[in-house]
Amino acid sequence: MAEPLPRHLLIPFAGRGSPACRAALTTLRLPNLETLLLRLTLADTDTQDDSTRSPPHERALAQALGISAPDGCIPWAALEARKTSLAAPGDHEAWGLVTLCNWQVGIDDVALGDPSAIEIDADESMALFAAAEPFFEEDGIALYPSDTPGRWLACAPIFDGLATASIDRAVGYPISQWSPLGDASRPLRRLQNEMQMLLYTQRVNDERTARGVPPINSFWLSGTGVLKDDALPSPPAARTPVVDLALRDAALRDDGLAWAAAWQALDAGAVAALLADLARGADVALTLCGDRGAQLYTVQSRGLARWAKGLFDRNRATQVLESL
């Protein structure tokens, strides 16, 4: 009988530096996380500036999958194209994720609204896809629908080496802060302008306005790059993380009360399950991610001195989450 694969839980937005979430951090009581951190050992730390296009949870997931790429060039689109058979092993084409979104126009700037909140369905997505595809084709970009409404896969040489910001970095911030710059991205900015004018005329948006949901007025490009076979482990990594996004929405809204409530539920759910696996002798791992850093905890032997120190290390969870 084959041994079960080790369990690896990866939690994005475990720490958050925005004002309300940071204030809520001091109120958290996370007994299962406290116990896990006492029993596991810090195995790896990745700390970067919070201006990186690839946030810590995406860097940590890429590392766990054995993917090495520069900032802003983790090839999530190419990986999805490979999984859905749009691309075959050995293909080294460049791909990108095109995500429909609502750009929120303010007095001084234009901010990116969270695409997960636009409530787009499959019919709307396909109607907009049919309207947009010729414009992408004119610029030499092949466009494909995905299984997720409002998100398409795009393939073109322009995506090779083009650094783009993750949606999780850009939501709520001015578009100008995170949009790709430089000569290579000019065709994409022109295409984005064309799409804004096109989307404004679409019946889909008239219907959305009538039912009180935000119009879809642009797209966000992310996940760009080439998936090279020599960058992947062989065989594939056994410890593929389970990514739990329970904290994401509240963190991006800086809703401290909702973020704290989501943490309490996560501690009683997925974190408690991981602790139970550890108690049964399973090989488990935990990755906690924030705005700037990620910390990986694994099962390792602990010396007597470190074990004794852990007995008196109170509020360790809060300290760890603050450091992220």
Q: Are residues 237 and 103 in the same domain?
A: no
Q: Are residues 207 and 243 in the same domain?
A: no
Structural domain contains residue 130: yes
Q: Are residues 304 and 278 in the same domain?
A: yes
Hey, what are 61's tokens? Answer: 């997931």
CATH of the domain at 132: 3.30.70
- Domains contained in the chain, number: 2
Which pLDDT belongs to residue 183? 66
Q: Are residues 27 and 173 in the same domain?
A: no
Which pLDDT belongs to residue 186? 83
Structural domain contains residue 132: yes
Q: What's the average pLDDT block by block, 10 residues per block, for the chain (324 residues)?
A: 65 97 95 95 93 96 92 95 88 94 85 91 96 95 95 96 95 88 78 92 92 92 87 57 96 97 97 96 95 94 52 75 94
Which pLDDT belongs to residue 314? 60
Q: Are residues 173 and 34 in the same domain?
A: no
CA distance 221 to 95: 10
Hey, what are 180's tokens? Answer: 């790709």
Which pLDDT belongs to residue 176? 87
Whole-angstrom distance between the N-terminal and C-terminal Cα of the chain? 40
Structural domain contains residue 1: no
Of 213, 231, 249, which residue constitutes the final position of a domain? 231
Q: Are residues 82 and 59 in the same domain?
A: no
The letter for the amino acid at 155 is: C
Q: Are residues 44 and 118 in the same domain?
A: no
Which pLDDT belongs to residue 308? 47
Beta-ladder partners of 143: 154
Rg, Å, the chain Cα set: 21
Of 231, 265, 293, which residue constitutes the final position of a domain? 231
CA distance 294 to 141: 35
Of 186, 202, 231, which residue constitutes the final position of a domain? 231
Which pLDDT belongs to residue 89? 79
Which pLDDT belongs to residue 126? 96
Structural domain contains residue 240: yes
Reduced to 3 states (helix: H, G, I; strand: E, B; else coil), residue 312 is coil
Pair 292, 52: CB distance under 8 Å:
no
Domain of residue 207, residue span: 76-231
The b-or-e profile of 188-227 (16+ CB within 10 A means b, else e) is beebbeebeeebeebebbeebeeeeebbbbbbbbbbbbbb
**Phi first, then psi: what are they for 132, rounded to 5°?**
-85, -30
Ranges of H-type helices in 186-255: 186-200, 203-210, 248-253
Hey, what are 155's tokens? Answer: 């393939």
Q: Are residues 61 and 33 in the same domain?
A: yes
Q: Are residues 215 and 258 in the same domain?
A: no
Structural domain contains residue 71: no
CA distance 317 to 300: 19
Q: Are residues 45 and 192 in the same domain?
A: no
